[in-house]
């Protein structure tokens, strides 16, 4: 196949745009718990600056299918997220709210073109994962990272009860 000048230029532009796109890859483990009454945890994932100021919501897992929006009532159990961002929102929020997740490892990916991080200014940040479970506990983990990344960063934290292993990979 022979490429014309315009096609070649377009291919080069698209290739360079893809090569310059930074990304966040996140793995969140919901551990199996041996308890009498188990409910999937509500989980909020967001970005804050190093002073703890909320910057951007990335994902929210909650029971949005409960009758009469009953699931929204329990979002307050994600205490830090609720105070920093949640109480100002109308639910469900397109683009980041989703159903609760079962036991297992769940992967999320965000490119620099993704609506939830495309306007994030350069600087030092923390990715925050907060989980709360009915008839259970609450847990919060913070993973520091730099945006946009100058080099590949891999940060791993281990939860102790409501969260398992959390891994954040930031790629230039």
Domains in the chain: how many in total? 1
Please indicate, yes or no, if residue 15 is contained in any of the structural domains. no
Please indicate, yes or no, if residue 11 is contained in any of the structural domains. no
pLDDT at 90 over 90: no
Average pLDDT over residues 13-36: 78
Q: If pLDDT is split at 50, 70 and 90, which confidence band does 20 have? A: low
Please indicate, yes or no, if residue 146 is contained in any of the structural domains. yes
- The DSSP code sequence of 13-73 is HHHHHHHT--EEEEEEEE-----SS--PPEEEEEEEETT--EEEEEEEE--TTSGGGHHHH
Q: If pLDDT is split at 50, 70 and 90, which confidence band does 16 have? A: very low
**Stated pTM of the model:** 0.85
Please indicate, yes or no, if residue 6 is contained in any of the structural domains. no
Please indicate, yes or no, if residue 61 is contained in any of the structural domains. yes
68 torsion bin: left (phi>0), alpha (psi -120 to 50), beta (else):
left
pLDDT at 11 over 50: no
- Say whether the peptide bond before residue 157 is cis (omega within 30 degrees of 0): no
pLDDT at 48 over 50: yes
For residue 40, the domain's CATH number is 2.60.40
Please indicate, yes or no, if residue 53 is contained in any of the structural domains. yes
Mean pLDDT of the chain: 87
- Give me the domain span that covers residue 164: 20-171
Distance in Å from the first CA to the final CA of the chain: 32
Residue 13 has what pLDDT?
Answer: 39
Most confident residue range from 36-40, 95-99, 121-125: 121-125
Please indicate, yes or no, if residue 3 is contained in any of the structural domains. no
pLDDT at 120 over 70: yes
pLDDT at 10 over 70: no
């Amino acid at each position: 196949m022979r490429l014309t000048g315009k096609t070649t230029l377009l291919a080069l532009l698209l290739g360079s745009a893809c090569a310059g796109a930074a990304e966040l890859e996140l793995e969140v483990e919901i551990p199996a718990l041996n308890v009498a009454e188990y409910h999937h945890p509500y989980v909020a994932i967001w970005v804050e600056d190093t002073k703890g100021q909320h910057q951007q919501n990335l994902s929210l897992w909650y029971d949005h299918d409960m009758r009469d929006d009953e699931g929204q009532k329990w979002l307050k159990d994600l205490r830090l997220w609720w105070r920093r961002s949640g109480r100002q929102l109308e639910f469900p929020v397109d683009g980041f709210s989703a159903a609760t997740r079962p036991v297992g490892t769940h992967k999320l990916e965000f490119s620099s073109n993704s609506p939830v991080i495309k306007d994030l200014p350069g600087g030092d940040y923390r990715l925050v994962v907060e989980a709360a479970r009915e008839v259970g506990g609450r847990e919060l983990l913070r993973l520091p990272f730099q945006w946009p990344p100058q080099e590949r960063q891999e940060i791993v934290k281990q939860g102790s009860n409501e969260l398992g292993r959390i891994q954040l990979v930031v790629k230039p």
